[in-house]
Structure 1
């Protein structure tokens, strides 16, 4: 019998808790030691279960890692949806909304932050990890674009769809640097500059001038 044939799907509450404990322990160790330096015995010990118990839920270490990526994706998107849900983009002006959009992405990245680095390592070597991460990225992009489209006719762009992609890419790249790298300028100054750049790109000069007057009262 192959290992994957012995894997069972937890149905009782106790079994589900055990699998969750295994998964969270794995994420912690993957984050600390890296995927390749981690083994199932260490994961079992951290989860407080036997190695055999781990194999009753997962065929191998890679299966655990892929499940961890799925958990990361769910938590990331859920947090981003909660953050964006607090923004009334139809009512608030862009000078208020854009910083909140940026902040929502920054906050969403706090989910299993250290694990994200290991995901990026395997992104280039494991096609399934790459596919799962690309799916999560696309969902995040769609949520951001959906919020931007509430501005409708206020966007003076010949190709709003392409513009939305460019804006999300710009925000996403800067956010990644703020979350995962050291930057030579303060975070608040970078976020302010990013908001100003996106605002000037999306709005006509007349609209931008109007927004500025409104913001100054």
Structure 2
């Protein structure tokens, strides 16, 4: 047994209620500190202090800080996904206003991104250097692809899409950077303008005929 295996053997899987709660406190504290200070500026002692547990308690569950970060990332994804899963606009009916439906979905995704902007940014930074973090982030992205594809399939034959899986990938990749710009800022363009432009883009992509008919006459042409 090598050193890493011995260290792993020393950690324990929480089974008792108090043990589970202690580990949850550690992960929640780590998520908060990673969000505020970043991974590299946070040490195990600070995590223990924030969680109000002994440093030894942290090491009884984790061999190193990266293991804590991965659990914090899993908790972040859980919070992020719960907002999307609880979203009500998962089905389309003929009487529904398509633009308002798209706007509702976009606002929900923005809300999910705003759960913890600091940790979201740290996750993106960490994914560039740590393959295990990148793998976890990509796994979560695939969940969004599948969820969007299911949403598109539930809208057929109302929409023009023939390949929901490919369309879902296009929509997520195109909209994700826009949504992040809205949630995190930095473009110099206001939130409402960015949301409106995204609604226009997706409306024309999914319902091109309806979108073309709905274009208002501009003041210059009246």
Give the distance between the partners of 1:139 and 1:159, measured in 2 at CA. 17
Aligned to 1:18: 22
Matches for 1:145-164 after TM superposition, within 5 Å:
145-157=149-161, 159-164=163-168
Moved over 6 A (4+): 210-213
Q: Are residue 130 (structure 1) and residue 134 (structure 2) matched?
A: yes
Give the counterpart of 1:111 among 110, 115, 122. 115
Give the distance between the partners of 2:18 and 2:208, measured in 1 at CA. 58
Give the counterpart of 2:100 among 96, 102, 117. 96
Give SS of 1:28's match.
Answer: helix
Q: Is the 8 A contact 1:7 1:58 kept in 2?
A: yes
Structure 2: gaps spanning 5 or more residues:
217-222
Give the distance between the partners of 2:161 and 2:60, measured in 1 at CA. 55
Q: Is the 8 A contact 2:31 2:73 kept in 1?
A: no
Query: Which one is further off, 48-57 or 90-99?
Result: 90-99
| TM-score, with structure 2 as normaliser | 0.87
Quote the offset at 1:160 in angstroms: 4.5
Give SS of 1:154's match.
Answer: coil
Q: Is the 8 A contact 2:62 2:68 kept in 1?
A: yes
Q: Are residue 169 (structure 1) and residue 173 (structure 2) matched?
A: yes
After superposition, what is the alpha-carbon deviation per residue over 1:22-46, rounded to whole angstroms, capped at 9, x for unaligned? 1111111112221112111111111
Give SS of 1:123's match.
Answer: helix
Give the distance between the partners of 2:122 and 2:165, measured in 1 at CA. 32
After superposition, what is the alpha-carbon deviation per residue over 1:193-215, rounded to whole angstroms, capped at 9, x for unaligned? 1101111122232x3356789xx
Give the distance between the partners of 1:101 and 1:58, measured in 2 at CA. 38
Q: Is the 8 A contact 1:145 1:168 kept in 2?
A: no
Structure 1: gaps spanning 5 or more residues:
none
Aligned residues: 210
Higher relative contact order (CA closer than 8 Å, sequence separation 6+): 1
